[in-house]
Amino acid sequence: MRLDHSFTVPATPDDAWKLFLDLGRVAPCMPGAVLDTLDGDAFTGRVKVKVGAVQMSYRGEGTVTRDESGRSMVLDLSGSETRGAGTASATVTASLAADPGGTRV
C-alpha cells in the first residue's frame, strides 16, 4: 500500500532541513509516535495507530538515511504489536522543496 501526503512548513528550505536533521524534534510531529532511543542513524520507538474503533500499539526500531544535497530522508521502520503477534514495516520518504508558503514536505 502506498500513501502520499504533503504539507507546507512556514520556514525556508535551509531552516526546515536543519529541523529534519534532529529526529528528536521530528518524531513528535508524527501522530502517535514516541522516540525512545536514538543512536546515530538508528533508533527505537513506539507508535499507536487507530483505525475506526480499532487501536494497535507497536514497539519497533528504524534507521534514517539522509541525502543532504537533495534535502530528502528515508526512514526504514519495523515493529511488532505490544499485545499480540502482529508485525508491521514501513518506509517513509520525505523530501523538501521551496514553496511560496515556505517549504513543501
Give tens-digit pLDDT for 49-104.
888 999 999 999 999 999 999 999 999 999 999 998 999 999 999 999 999 989 99
Distance from C-alpha of 94 to C-alpha of 80, rounded to nearest angstrom: 23
φ, ψ of residue 53 to 5 degrees: the values are -90, -5
Domains and CATH numbers, the chain: 8-96 (3.30.530.20)
pLDDT for 16-26, tens place per residue?
999 989 988 88
pLDDT, position 75: 93
- Look at residue 31 and tell me whether its pLDDT is greater than 90: no
Give all strands of the β-sheet with 87-95 in edge-to-edge order.
33-39, 42-51, 54-67, 72-81, 87-95
